[in-house]
Amino acid sequence: MVLNENDERPLVVWVEDDPDFQDIVRDWLIPRYDLITYKDGGAFLDEIAESEPAVIMLDVGLPGPDGFKLCRAVRRDRRLAATPILFLTSCQEDVDYVKHLKVGGTAFLTKPVDRKELLSTLDELVLKKYGEPL
């Protein structure tokens, strides 16, 4: 199983514009995952294909391209088409959930997100991608 270029831990790539939320979640993820974060979608789109992430996490309300546009762009790239995409968003309506799936999202968690739920969801997505548990 190739997890990332170092073959050590799964790589999570995350686009989130709230620095406080990034700090909290970064502390949760770093013990288990390698993490690359972006504050907006511009650099993300330029660099994502070379990262070979296990999972991509996206916020919806971002400066520049929003999470929906980023998700569509990832799904159009054949190298990333099978990469699980987890939306972390404050959207809480059923219609929002359906829209996340229609653009190609794999999973959806609402903010504020629970630490155990996030880690469990990421573990499931990594398992789906690689077919092996962490």
How much of the chain, in percent, has pLDDT values that exceed 90? 59
Within a domain: residue 99?
Answer: yes
Read off the CATH number of the domain in which 37 is found. Answer: 3.40.50.2300
8-19, pLDDT tens digit by residue?
Answer: 799 999 999 999
pTM: 0.88
Domain carrying residue 47:
11-130
Number of domains in the chain: 1
Q: Measure the CA–CA gap between 111 and 52, rounded to whole angstroms.
A: 26
Within a domain: residue 117?
Answer: yes
Within a domain: residue 40?
Answer: yes
**At a CB cut-off of 8 Å and minimum separation 6, what does 114 contact?**
none
Within a domain: residue 4?
Answer: no
